[in-house]
Amino acid sequence: MYTIENIKDENKWDELVSKSENNNIFLKSYYLNCLKDNINFFIIKKKEEITSGFVVISDDNNNIIENLFSIYSGIFFIKNKKMKSSAYNSQIFQILEHYQNFLNENYEKIYIPLSPEVKDIRPFQWYNYHLSKDKKYLIDIKYTSYLNLKNFNTNEEFNSNLFQNLSDTRKQNIKYGFKNNLDFCEGDTETFMNLYLESVKRQNIDIKPKQLLEMKNILSSLRKKKKLQVISCQLKKKIEYSIVICWDDNKGYYLFGTGVEKRQRYSASATLWYSIKFLKDKHVEIFDLEGINSPSRGSFKTSFGGNIVPYYVLNFNMK
């Protein structure tokens, strides 16, 4: 009933992603082409109708691998609006079965962080249902936070529901930052990279040359497409904190953030709040804070009062 085809037309691929229930920038070809791994795009068809698609990020040994900058990967679905929800749910399950079979027939090692919109993962849970544990998928649950900007009025920012839902500490820090004359500017990627590398060195974080190149590619490519901005705050003409945001269609994303070692406690909060207002002006409706999976980062991002959203990470090793 279903067939899987490799697709080479990247414009067509991006159009399909935009039409899908899982639309996000991390599935777009212009983002994925910034990575230094092997990228292949596939579509799943029911007769002649395209019902879904998926991307495979692999190494030279044909393993589907983890990439630090592939936040969400894997499969997306295109909904036929004429279908009843019961029929659509059944179709999703059938598509996932074909997807899972394709993966296990072609790859020995699999690592895929699915988008939050993939909610039914039973075909992966049930793979080799009666066999030993080491021949099954290991499924991890991660979380992100969505801020809904649809009804956010930047002209009444401090009276908005969005602001009122922030934690008291976050509200105080944002107001304090504006009161103490923080200057905000739309910075350049080179200055951000220098600040980022200083922070990495200071924290003794090991960043591989491949990852550094991919990061630079992402900054350069998305900036050229006018889908990325560096937002920086300054105090007395010196940068305190910088955030990289990007956007596509009606969604925005927190990509990177870094600051100087000795900075004011309110600088990060105020910079993120300014970034929210910037994205609203770009007609963004959902701002994905992109990962709340470590204690410090999670505490900071969840204090902005967003909707906590889970997503699944598939991990499989045939050996």
pTM comes to 0.95
pLDDT of residue 133: 66
Return the CATH fold of 150-284: Aminopeptidase (3.40.630)
Domain 2-140+313-317 has CATH 3.30.420: no
Cβ(186)–Cβ(229) under 8 Å? yes
CA-CA distance, 10 to 25, in Å (whole number)? Answer: 14
Residue 23's pLDDT is: 97
Q: Residue 206's pLDDT is what?
A: 87
pLDDT value at residue 295: 83
Question: Which pLDDT does position 143 carry in this prediction?
Answer: 97
Domain ranges of the chain: 2-140+313-317, 150-284
pLDDT along the chain (319 residues), means of 10: 96 98 97 98 96 98 96 96 92 97 96 97 92 84 97 95 96 91 90 93 90 97 97 93 97 96 92 97 96 86 96 92
Question: What is the per-residue pLDDT for 264?
Answer: 86
